[in-house]
Amino acid sequence: MQIKAVLFDLDDTLYGEFPICDREGFLAVGRYAERELGIPCDQFVTALQTGKKALHDRLYGEPESHDRVLYAKTTLEMLGINPIRHAEKMHKAYWDAVFRNMKLREGVHELFDVLRARGVQVGICTNMLADIQMQKLCLLGLDERVDFLVTSEEAGADKPKPAIFELALARAGCTAEEALMVGDTFKHDILGAHHAGIEGIWLHIGSDRAVEKPGLRYTEARSFPEAAHLILARVDRKSDTI
């Protein structure tokens, strides 16, 4: 069956390395706290990690668990500080630092251009909030190279829950058998896609581990150029079988 859409995760798949971006974001918030609140940077960063965990424990699997405004709000409230004046500014400081440190992976632009030239839709299927992910796509030069974006915010649940994959298929106007999912997180991207009936290509570039499951269909790549080669091979091979 012909591949009509390739779905890509965004963070740590199309750009890297998010742990570095995240660390720089936390430090930017810590510097804001030191400058505006008189709290030492390292002390506030530690508190922010605690606030993040508290939010994740309360909202696990929900898109709002990614909201850096809520990280800041939760942390400030834990410290007995009114968050209204500061939380949004901390949110901006965090994301400005992340955006500055994003590095597009080799071959992304070229792959997207080739896929679209061959009539294959390029979709972004990602956890996180829509406004932030749209900003990333623009800054990475991908906004005009992507046919659609689906976020967990609009799907109402994070990957690996099926809602986001189902929404992506609806946006693409194709069946699960006519799509591929490409991502770096095995549980979220590969297992999640599997449960939605979508074949996966796992960009295994970190310490994430595979999980054995009967009937699981996926291919492993150790770099984005290798993943691109596998994607195009699948697109070509399935087109030839019609």
For residues 168 and 241, the model is more confident at 168
Mean pLDDT across the chain, nearest whole number?
Answer: 95
Instruction: Tell me the DSSP string of 165-196.
Output: HHHHHHHHT--GGGEEEEES-IIIIIIHHHHT
Say whether pLDDT at 77 is over 90. yes
Decide: 105 and 222 in contact? Cβ < 8 Å. no
pLDDT tier for residue 45 given thresholds of 50, 70 and 90? very high
- CATH number assigned to the domain with residue range 5-17+103-240, chosen from the 4 options 3.30.70.2740, 3.40.50.1000, 3.90.850.10, 3.40.50.620: 3.40.50.1000
Say whether pLDDT at 239 is over 80. no
What residues does each domain of the chain span?
Answer: 5-17+103-240, 18-101
What is the C-alpha R_g of the chain? 19
**Mean pLDDT, range 12-35, rounded to an integer:** 96
**Mean pLDDT, range 186-210, rounded to an integer:** 94
Say whether pLDDT at 94 is over 60. yes
**pLDDT tens-digit profile of 102-150?**
999 999 999 999 999 999 999 999 999 999 999 999 999 999 999 999 9
9 belongs to the catalytic site: yes
Residue-level pLDDT at 208: 85
pLDDT tier for residue 211 given thresholds of 50, 70 and 90? confident
Say whether pLDDT at 238 is over 70. no
Residue-level pLDDT at 242: 31
Beta partners for residue 151, in sequence order:
126
Residue-level pLDDT at 92: 98
Helix (H, G, I), strand (E, B) or coil at 41: helix
- Cβ contacts of 225 within 8 Å, gap of 6 or more: 106, 107
pTM recorded for the entire structure: 0.93
Give me the catalytic one of 11, 12, 158, 184: 11
Residue 202 tokens read as 């796992």
Give me the catalytic one of 9, 12, 158, 184: 9
Backbone angles phi, psi at 85, to 5 degrees: -80, -25
11 belongs to the catalytic site: yes
Q: In the chain, what's the furthest Cα-to-Cα distance?
A: 66
